[in-house]
Chain A
Amino acid sequence: MSKILQSLPMTIVAGIVLTVIMVFATNKLENMNQSGAEKVISDMIN
């Protein structure tokens, strides 16, 4: 980890990778948190 942090370009790449992971985790958690009716509407919209 400290090797990544010593390099600024690697730090930026790691930040972008973490952003992508966070987007997937956000979608997963939002789906889990939705009630049945909300999920049906959300699926119809998306």
Chain B
Amino acid sequence: MEDFILFIVRYLHVLCGVMWIGILWYFNFVQIPSMPKIPDEQKPAISKVIAPEALFWFRWGAAGTVLFGMILAYMNGYIHEALTLQKPDIGFGMWMGLIMAFNVWFIIWPAQKIALGIVEADADAKPAAGRRAMLFSRTNTLLSIPMLFSMISAQNATGF
């Protein structure tokens, strides 16, 4: 029974991770590079409809990934060893995931709320918030490459 619960937790961890990193890469590989090519009158379709919806699944995907990842590490008995880097193969990935989730909830989402006009802010604050969100979103894209390598190699590249 414990093995089955472990499997379900791992499945939910990967499911949420695909949701999170998939939308992160959508923002960085598709939406941000496409915005300058979209006519001004059509931009609200992105900023008022698509981006807020994508940000909802993005931030809750991040939360779910961290939650199920922590439960998984605890159930497998290596949470302490990983976080103290006594088990660095998965530990580096966990720390990068935690930094990325922090960026999502405490930097990117608050900045996007200002940039997209979800909360009231000065007109000057919007471009600065948009730039901050973009830079931290790119930071997460950068970190996603070694983070995924760590997560997958820890389990599949034994003896690497």
A interface residues with partner B (beta carbon < 8 Å): 2, 4-6, 8, 11-12, 14-16, 18-19, 22-23, 25-26, 29-30, 33, 45-46
The binding surface of chain B is classed by DSSP as helix
Known: A8-B29, A26-B92. A18 touches B146 (CB 8 A): yes
Complex Cα distance, B144 from A45, in Å, reads: 31
Contact A29 B88 (CB under 8 A): yes
Residue in B closest to A30 when the chains form the complex, CB atoms: B88
B interface residues with partner A (beta carbon < 8 Å): 28-29, 32-33, 85-89, 92, 135, 138-139, 141-146, 149-150, 159-160
The binding surface of chain A is classed by DSSP as helix
Contact A26 B144 (CB under 8 A): no
Contacts of B87 in A (CB 8 A): 33
* A5 smallest CB distance to B (angstroms): 4
* A21 smallest CB distance to B (angstroms): 8
Contacts of B150 in A (CB 8 A): 22, 26
Contact B145 A16 (CB under 8 A): yes
Contact A5 B139 (CB under 8 A): yes
CB < 8 Å: which of A2, A22, A46 contacts B135?
Answer: A2
